[in-house]
Amino acid sequence: MKKQMTSLLLVICMVSCCLCGCSGAPGSSDSNELTVFNYSEYLDPEMIEQFTKETGIKIKYEEATTPEEMYTKYISGAISYDLLCTSDYMVKRLIDEGQAQEVDFASMENFSNIDPKYLKISESFDPGNKYSLPYFWGTVGILYNTKKVKGPIDSWDVLFNGDYKGQIIMQDSMRDSFMVALKYLGYSLNTQDENEIHEAAELLKKQKDDVESYLVDEARDEVVAENATMAVVYSGEAYLGHDFNPDLEYVVPKEGSNLWVDSWIVTKNCKNTENAKKFLDFLCRDDVAYANFEYIYYSTPNKAAVDMMDDDLRNNPAIVPTDDSIKDCEVYEAFDEKTTSLYSDLWKEIKSE
Amino acid sequence: MIEKTLGKIYIGLILVFMYTPILVLIALSFNDSRSRVVWGGFTLKWYRTLFDNSSIMSAFGTTAALAFVSAAVASLIGLFAAIGIYSMKKRSVKVMLFFTNIPLLNADIVTGIALMLWFVRFFPLGFVSVLTAHITFNIPYVILCILPKLETMDIRQFEAARDLGASTAYAFTKVILPDLLPGILAGFFMAVTMSMDDFVITYFTKGPGVNTLSTLIYGEIRKGIKPEMYALSSVLFLLVLIILIIANKTDTVKEN
């Protein structure tokens, strides 16, 4: 009996030690601290240090690789994030679910650096630009090897006409692959029309013989290594590809394509919105925006940063797409449940055939 | 004769499958291009930049601190647990071993999510939560390494020491502990390896800003793993190789 009592006491001691040692309820964050959630490799780490040096606000920085992963981690509530950077459709979902805070971005000193053109594009997922601030953006296009193609590449047609049989890499993603087919057929990439969707699926099925493989992250490397002639890639990847192999060029086909925007939102958990705004303002400052651009080489919506680029960069369509090349581009919108399941059923059919 | 050559080929194949990936990694750490598919010439620059890269160095520090602190604490708890289990009645031993074996066999993802849900009730996730998680999953390994040593140990030596007037504590440190030391060390290093290897549990229990090597590499996958990481991995591989060679040498010396 005595023995049991001692062990019980010991257990109680241990538990209370644990609890006291790490006091502080979840969610209680230091007022001079911001918890920031971003894609991996999407912000120059030196800029975080500089921000802390300038303002005294500490940054707890957390990274994720996909919007879905971010959403799950955010919603689980294990960590209380103040600021979050994610992609267009996920921004919309978070706004719709009431997870974002309305912020008066216009009152920020460096907000004028953001080109109004991108605010207009953002309206498709954040009407009135009340919740989100564009951070980086880009397109989807064809990365190709200039030495191996016959004639100029300016249309999705090259992926479907059989000229490059077995030398094509498509994105292993339902939305991106359908986008290519829909745009080629001249439809909207957000179409919910069953006939148009079926037509696109037929085209993708027919194309399957010509496709070397469906890849995601490895698509760029396969073209760099010259295992394939062309691949459907994101514009950010294209610049790196060109860096590794100067024979590679990137084009946004004339039929139009997908345009994506990654934006910052302030979450409803954020207590100190002034600090959050200071951080966003800092990111909009020309030198900071340029440093971040040099770190990731995606297209920036910050016109002050674009002005700082040299001519080579500014004239590179993968870095600064021309207005003309993006005029037929669209931002992804969420589908209703029925359309989503139609798309994914057809995609499964295409992949399994 | 044929049997012998076939055996050699078989072993050779196993070695090729096990070590070519590591050799490729080491070769890439000398590649003067950031791409993994282009050979840009020989360079040592990644080894130099490695030590200037604050995120990799801090992740390495976190990984090492986690591994050694969690292994030390788990060894201590595991040691007492093993002694406790050893002195239990047979039925209780079975029950206890059943419970310590569950975390061993349980999928990491279940352990990870369960620990996360449990931790967030009491304190914000951070270094402490990862450390606690690592200690938790390390304890069973230590117990498993120490228990066999206890079973082969001659308890009469301890009793003799007590008969000759040694206090319990004295007899424990002078008789039992030296006997158990190989088991404790084995458990300790097993725990260090397990902690360094772990990704899933760390991923779920870590707080913002805390990164181990495995979570850092996971984050880099999106835009391609940095060559500095290849350099660090090569250094780690070499370190382990050296430790193993030294351990083998001392073993053969002892046997002689």
SS3 A179: helix
Quick one: pLDDT at residue A297?
A: 86
A9 domain-assigned: no
Q: Which chain B residues are Cβ-neighbours of A143 within 8 angstroms?
A: none
A155 domain-assigned: yes
Report yes or no: B35 at the A interface, CB cutoff 8 Å.
Answer: yes
Quick one: pLDDT at residue A345?
A: 92
Question: What does the DSSP assignment read for A180-216?
Answer: HHHHHTT--TT---HHHHHHHHHHHHHHGGGEEEEES
A23 domain-assigned: no
pLDDT by residue (tens digit) across B2-44?
889 999 999 999 999 999 999 999 999 998 887 777 788 888 8
Within chain A, which residues score under 50 in pLDDT? Answer: 1-2, 13, 16-29
A72 & A193 share domain: no
Letter for the amino acid at B131?
Answer: L
Query: For chain A, how big is the Rg over CA atoms in Å?
Result: 24
A265 & A254 share domain: no
What percent of chain A is predicted at pLDDT more than 70? Answer: 92
Rounded distance between C-alpha atoms, residue B256 and residue B244, angstroms: 18
Contact A41 B222 (CB under 8 A): yes
SS3 B171: helix
Q: Which chain A residues are Cβ-neighbours of B76 within 8 angstroms?
A: none
Which among A298, A339, A350 has a CA at the least distance from the CA of A188?
A339
Which domains are present in chain B? 54-225 (1.10.3720.10)
Q: Chain B residue closest to A74 (CA)?
A: B208
Question: What does the DSSP assignment read for A90-116?
Answer: HHHHHHHTT-BPP--GGGSTTGGGB-H
Letter for the amino acid at A269?
Answer: N
Domain with A151 in it? 138-258+329-352
119-158 of B, contacting A, C-beta below 8 A: 119-125, 128, 132
Dihedral of alpha carbons B20, B239, B144, B118, sign: negative
Q: Which chain B residues are Cβ-neighbours of A18 within 8 angstroms?
A: 122, 132
Rounded distance between C-alpha atoms, residue A108 and residue A112, angstroms: 8
Q: CA distances (Å), B227 to each of A241, B224, B237, B241, in order?
A: 16, 9, 15, 21
Q: Which chain A residues are Cβ-neighbours of B54 within 8 angstroms?
A: 45
A234 & A287 share domain: no
96-115 of A, contacting B, C-beta below 8 A: none
Rounded distance between C-alpha atoms, residue B22 and residue B26, angstroms: 6
A11 domain-assigned: no
A322 domain-assigned: no
Here the tokens at position A175 are 């939305």
A251 & A110 share domain: no
The answer to whether residues A218 and A228 touch, using CB atoms and an 8 Å cutoff, is no
Contact A23 B36 (CB under 8 A): no
Number of domains comprising chain A: 2
Q: Which chain A residues are Cβ-neighbours of B132 within 8 angstroms?
A: 18
Here the tokens at position B19 are 């070590």
Task: For the full predicted model, state whether its pTM sits above 0.80.
Answer: no
pLDDT by residue (tens digit) across A161-176?
888 988 999 998 888 9
A154 & A272 share domain: no
Nearest CB to B116; choose among A78, A225, A240: A78
A205 domain-assigned: yes
How much of chain A is in helix, strand and coil states, percent to nearest 5?
45, 20, 35
Here the tokens at position A118 are 């991108």
The answer to whether residues B183 and B148 touch, using CB atoms and an 8 Å cutoff, is yes
pLDDT by residue (tens digit) across A6-27?
555 555 545 544 444 443 334 4
Here the tokens at position A8 are 């019980």
A129 & A144 share domain: no
A171 domain-assigned: yes
A167 & A184 share domain: yes
Rounded distance between C-alpha atoms, residue A263 and residue A70, angstroms: 13
Report yes or no: B1 at the A interface, CB cutoff 8 Å.
Answer: no
Contact B128 A22 (CB under 8 A): yes
A248 & A194 share domain: yes
Here the tokens at position B230 are 């290849």
A237 & A268 share domain: no
A4 domain-assigned: no
A338 & A221 share domain: yes
A175 & A198 share domain: yes
A279 & A214 share domain: no
Report yes or no: B32 at the A interface, CB cutoff 8 Å.
Answer: no
pLDDT by residue (tens digit) across A47-61?
999 999 999 999 988
CATH code at position A178: 3.40.190.10
